Amino acid sequence: MPRQRRPREEREPEEAEEEGWKSWVRDIAIAVLVMAVVLAAIFAYTQVWPPLVVIESSSMQHGDTTSAIGVIDTGDLVFVQAAPTRADVVTYVQGRATGYNTYGDYGDVIVFRLSRNPSATPIIHRAIMYVIPNGTSLANVPDLAALPSSQWEGYRNGLPVTGTNGLSAVTIHEMGYEHDLGITFNLAYFANAFRQPGYITMGDNNAYHACIPGRDPCSSATPYDTLWFPAQGDIIGHARGEIPWFGLIKLLLAPADGCADYWGSPCAPQNSWNDLAISLVVLLALPFIVEAVGWAWSKYAWPRIKPLLRRKGKEGAPPPEESAVSEEPSEAPPSEGGPKEGSSGP
């Protein structure tokens, strides 16, 4: 007995519901695929996982109250690209000699975690110079060779020297993002305290907290980091690019040492909070704006444009070719010698 089909009225709601679920599944699958492709592309570039860090302090800011694009501020998200070898890191001294700069000053900003404390929060500061202790209380700084001698002085046990080896201290002039500080680095301290090659690091903002702007030299202040002296193996990577403000969301959900534990916290610049609020409003409103524009286009614009396009297409189209009509040849008149109408044959 042939199977009876249900009436169309009964089938349409079920088919519509099934099509709706298929559409949802398809959209989710596409979203997951796009996200996977984006994450794979980011990892291929950075070679570090996770490829982003959230800035939790103001040590790299260029000022305490205002944030800026192109500067590392509290609440920014920063990409981290792997830097496994010494050649992958450009120090401040090297960058100043070549003109290479990132985030508003010379050299690379590095992200590192000390091997003696692998569970600690990574630190992000500018790499100033690479120092090689020579087994005594002195150190070698080969990067200084590329810097003009008028911009720095080397010392050995308090006496000025002209080379880059066997130094106990070095003073570099015109440092800081305003290029108005003279800072003396105690190399003997690092040679005695750490004894292995490493980087002297410094936060851009820390220099102006420890030194009086315009002071050269910066008296006895030590704006650079002395609690750590990261070796190459401690470096996770160097900072590349930024997504401003959006790291504040993470800090709100999981505050770091009391930073950004509420909206508008002064630990982050006020304009960062304002810019984040504007960005969130725009992102939330964007789908509705796109939907409204699409509806207005289909409702008002397209019905007016469509006839114009059709008319223009007809005006510009070539005229149709005339169909060839074959004319049947007319009957030839009978020849004079042939039979005539009405005449009979012989």
The one-letter amino acid at 234: D
Q: Which pLDDT belongs to residue 256?
A: 73
The Cβ-side half-sphere exposure at 100, using a 13 Å CA radius, reads 15
Instruction: List Cα–Cα distances, 90 to 72, 86, 130, 151, in angstroms.
Output: 18, 8, 9, 18
Note whether 245 and 276 are within 8 A (CB): yes
Domain residue ranges of the chain, discontinuous segments joined by +: 17-46, 48-248
Q: Which pLDDT belongs to residue 155?
A: 95
- pLDDT per residue as tens digits for the range 224-258: 999 999 999 999 999 999 999 999 999 998 877 76
- pLDDT per residue as tens digits for the range 58-86: 999 998 899 999 999 999 999 999 999 99
Note whether 71 and 103 are within 8 A (CB): yes
Q: Which pLDDT belongs to residue 97?
A: 95
Residue that has been written with the tokens 């810097």 in this structure: 147
Of the candidates 190, 240, 183, 192, which has an alpha carbon nearest to the alpha carbon of residue 212?
183
User: What whole-number distance in Å separates Cα of residue 238 and Cα of residue 94?
Assistant: 15
Burial 241-262 (b: 16+ CB within 10 A, else e): bbebbbbbebbbeeebeebbee
Q: Which pLDDT belongs to residue 337?
A: 46
Residues of the chain with pLDDT under 50: 323-330, 332, 335-346
**H or E, element range at 199:** strand 198-202
User: What whole-number distance in Å separates Cα of residue 16 and Cα of residue 34?
Assistant: 27
The pTM assigned to this predicted structure is 0.76
Note whether 133 and 195 are within 8 A (CB): yes
Tokens of 211: 């030194």
Give the chain's end-to-end CA distance (angstroms, integer).
Answer: 82
Sheet holding 159-161, edge to edge: 159-161, 152-156, 169-175, 181-186
